[in-house]
Each structure stands twice: as C-alpha cells, then as structure tokens.
Amino acid sequence: MTSSVASTNQTDFLKYSHTIGLCTMDGRGFMFPSDTAIGPEGRIYTVSRGLVGDSRTQRVTAYDLDSAFFGTFGSFGEDEGQFKLPSAIAVDSDGHVYVADEYSHRINIFDSEGKPVGSWGSKGVGEGQFNGPSGMAFDGEDHLYVSDHRNHRIQKFTKDGAFVLSFGSEGDGEGKLNLPWGVAVNGGDEVYVADWRNDRISKYSSDGKFLR
C-alpha cells in the first residue's frame, strides 16, 4: 500500500503538460535540440545542435510556455556570436544567455534579445581552456560550472569568464571523471555531474570537494 501511494504522488508530480516545438528550421522549430534553459522572466531558450556540415541549423530559439515566439539568434561559423557544434545553454540572473560550443572550445555570451556580448575559451588544458565543453549550470551566486568533456574535469567561472577553480581528473575512482557531460547545481550550490564513461552521477561541493 505504501508503494502504491508513493507511485501515485510521483505520477502527479510528473503530470504531462504539453509539447513545444516543431521539426523544422522555420519559426519556433528545432533541429536536433541539445539543451534548454529558462531565463529569470520565464523566457525559454533552446539551442539546436543541428547536423554536422549543415550550416543552416545551429541556432538558439527563444519562446515561452504558451508558445509565443521571440525569434532566433546565432548562426554557423567562428565569428562572435556564431558556433559550429553547440552543446549546452545556460542563463544567468541578469538574463544573459551562455552557449557552449563543443567544436570551437569556447563559451559564447548573448543578451536576452540575442545580441552577442562576449566569449571566452580556446582549445587546451590550461585554466579557462577547453576540450569539448558540454554541460553548463549556474549556482546561486552566478558562478558558471562547465563540463570540460575531453579534459575530464569541471571548471568554475564567474559570469564574466574569470577562472575560479577546476576539479576532477581522468579515472574511475572517487572524485574522478571520464568524459563528463551534463552538470546541475542544487539550491545549496552542490554540483552534480553526469559522468558519461563511468556510467554514474558524482556529487561535489561548490569548492570542488568530492561528496559522493
């Protein structure tokens, strides 16, 4: 009987609402969407990863839960505000939109209307460098955590791109990572990392200490 009640409550909690989006590059459609983030005023941003070699499909679509369409921004390329293989998206408390570009090894920043306002990152193993940045998440103090996929680590930055710290290294022991991808932060600023090749979720403190 207890399990039946728990199951009912869980079903209510996960009650389906509705679906947004179309399989098209017109209007509010997506093409291989890889990540979604919600801004402080409820605007939703979805980044389309697109097809490799198809320069029409890499972009961010802005809309809300009622399917109101606010436009798209970003395009294929290496210039400011462009990306080649976008992998993740996050929004800070001011509404600025951050897009990780796995291929160009950098983070692009846009204002809430899609205007490019900056970027940082390059390929490498040094502080602030990346090898395939993937998942991203902000904590309550607007620090950005970036999953540095092929460097097997998580890097922490201020929202302006200043390096704070990194944690994790290649391996399968406690606190080790092997091709980490997704990252999330809870209300207590504890960091959860989807450790792809190790088939597990690892938990860290905000200063990078392994918790479990």
pLDDT digits (tens, 9 = 90+) for 141-150: 999 999 999 9
Domain hosting residue 209, numbered range: 131-212
Mean pLDDT score across all residues of the chain: 89
Record the pTM. Answer: 0.88
pLDDT of residue 5: 38
Between CA 36 and CA 44, with CA 42 as vertex, the angle to 5 degrees is 25
pLDDT of residue 30: 82
Query: CB neighbours (10 Å) of residue 165?
Result: 13
Q: Which helix (H) or strand (E) holds 209?
A: none
Distance in Å from the first CA to the final CA of the chain: 32
* Residues 116, 205 share a domain: no
Is residue 156 one of the residues assigned to a domain? yes
pLDDT at residue 110 above 50? yes
Is residue 183 one of the residues assigned to a domain? yes
CA distance readout (Å), 77 to 12, 57, 86, 197: 44, 11, 11, 30
Q: What is the pLDDT of residues 81-99, one digit of tens each?
A: 999 999 999 999 999 999 9
3-state secondary structure 91-133: ECCCCCEEEEECCCCEEEEECCCCCEEEEECCECCCCCCECCE
* Residues 70, 38 share a domain: yes
* Residues 145, 116 share a domain: no
Q: Which amino acid is at 68?
A: A
